Amino acid sequence: MERKFVFGTAVTDYNFTGRSKETERLKTAFRSGINVILMSARRLGKTSLVKHVCQQLKSEEIITVYLDIFSCKSEYDFYNKLATEVLKQTASRKELWLDEAKDFMLRLAPKISLSPNPTSEFSIALGITPKTHSPEEVLSLAENIAVRKQKRIVVCIDEFQQIGEMDNSAQVQARLRAIWQHQKHVSYCLFGSKRHLMSSIFLHRSMPFYQFGDLIALEKISTKEWVEYIVSHFADGNKIITNEQAESICTFVDNYSSYVQQLAWILYTQTKEGEGVTEESVNIAKQDLLNVNEILFMQMVEPLSEYQFNFLRAVVNGVHSDFGLAEIRETYKLGSYSNIARLKKALLERDIITSENKTITLTDPVFEQWFKRKMM
């Protein structure tokens, strides 16, 4: 039986809603070979959207390759992952991908090992190292395959901000860009969270990936779409929620995708079949949402210094700019004028605050609610 509400993993089909404009925009870009950079705060729906688009393009003459590079800590970790997924996902016969791989890449030394991943019994490491393969060789692989198969390939790389965390990050970026920009049959969809890292890769004039492609900042799913989704999914389980109650779920979490689903799920489980949601149960569910996330929130505040903490208090109290003013620094005990830039930088790097048009807000609306109740 399908879950009525899903959070924490990418969603598809029954659990996927909205995003029609973004879906079309990505499909057009993928079909025309335009590179795309997709950015948003955490858990808004990047992975779900890209997988949704890849799914929809399945029947077309385009091969999409999806890879998540969250676990890649070094340049060659990335090359191994890239080569493996490109070879696997472009193979004509999936089960024979390793045989086919040998046609496209020389000197492979695949090693089969038991996988820590419970969904597959073993994993295959291609054994690509600086001694066996140059970066150029790996980075040209997709283009060579596309030419040989006479198909367009779109390589979608999730958690791309990891590239920004590598020791030789600038050098890696320069290498990727230098090769990718000349490819005629392959385009890229690069996406990830951690705003400061993604920005440092894509929004800085001096960096290789500046203006690499069509930049999309993923917006929130609209209240109207969420209300329809919530009301109909309650109804599927023979439970009743009013439009206003569904709307109040959205407001509480500021339309933040994963929290909308999580809060709806909590409320859904607390509602009996054949019955309707009550005001009281909505309030209890909201409190429960804060409680179940408390461990994560505690982890976020634990490492903060007193000044950083005070800075958050100021933001939660409605201060969004001009932190340097003497009055604000004194009211919230933020220290010296020069301290302000340091505080901002540290909190931006932790992704706790977001800065847009010089306005500072907390990144996570539910964390904000929790902070307001517990830390003020």
Give the residue closest to ligand ATP by C-beta: 45
Both structure tokens of 19 = 């995003």
User: Angle formed by the axes of helices 257-269 and 223-236, to 10°?
Assistant: 30
Binding interface with Mg ion (CB under 5 A): 46-47
> Among candidates 217, 191, 227, 248, which has minimal Cα distance to 18?
227
- Give 269 or 321: the residue with its C-beta nearer to ligand ATP: 269
Q: CB 5 → ligand ATP: shortest distance, Å? A: 7
363 is a contact residue toward ligand ATP (CB under 6 A): no
| C-beta of 3 vs 345, nearer to ligand ATP | 3
Residues 180-209, interacting with ligand ATP (CB under 6 A): 193
CB 45 to Mg ion: min, Å: 8
Segment near ligand ATP (CB under 6 A), from 29-37, 40-48, 182-190, 350-358? 40-48
One-character DSSP codes across 52-77: HHHHHTTTTTEEEEEEE-TT--SHHH
Min CB(70)–ligand ATP separation in Å:
8
The DSSP secondary-structure symbol of 220 reads P
- Cβ(197)–Cβ(160) under 8 Å? no
Query: What distance in Å separates the CA atoms of residue 107 and residue 126, rounded to the nearest whole number?
Result: 10
Q: How many residues does the chain have?
A: 376
Size of the site for ligand ATP (CB under 6 A): 23
8 lies in the binding site for ligand ATP (CB under 6 A) = yes
| Residue 40 interface partner, choices Mg ion, ligand ATP, none, CB cut-off 5-8 Å depending on type | ligand ATP
Residue 241 in tokens: 């929620």
Tell the smallest beta-carbon distance from residue 18 to ligand ATP (Å): 5
- Hunting for tokens 């890696």 — which residue is that? 172
Which one, of 303, 304, 343, lies nearest residue 323 by Cα?
343
Q: Which does 45 bind (CB under 5 to 8 A by kind): ligand ATP, Mg ion, none?
A: ligand ATP
Q: Does 220 bind ligand ATP (CB under 6 A)?
A: no
Tally of CB atoms within 10 A around 268: 20
| Min dist. Cβ of residue 8 to ligand ATP (A) | 5
Spatial CA neighbour of 229 closest among 241, 213, 219, 218: 241
91/156 with CB nearer ligand ATP = 156
> Judged by CB under 6 A, which stretch of 13-21, 297-305, 306-314, 347-355 contacts ligand ATP?
13-21
If one asks whether residue 18 binds ligand ATP (CB under 6 A), the answer comes out as: yes
Minimum CB distance to ligand ATP, residue 373 (Å) = 23
Q: How far is the CB of 26 from ligand ATP (least distance, A)?
A: 13
Sheet hosting strand 214-217, strand order edge to edge: 62-68, 152-158, 186-192, 36-39, 214-217
If one asks whether residue 42 binds ligand ATP (CB under 6 A), the answer comes out as yes
Q: Which residues pair with 113 in a beta bridge?
A: 123
Tokens of 260: 């909308």
The single residue among 4, 35, 36, 40 that binds ligand ATP, judged by CB under 6 A, is 40
Joined together, the tokens standing for residue 162 give 């990891």
Residue 258 binds to ligand ATP (criterion: CB under 6 A): yes
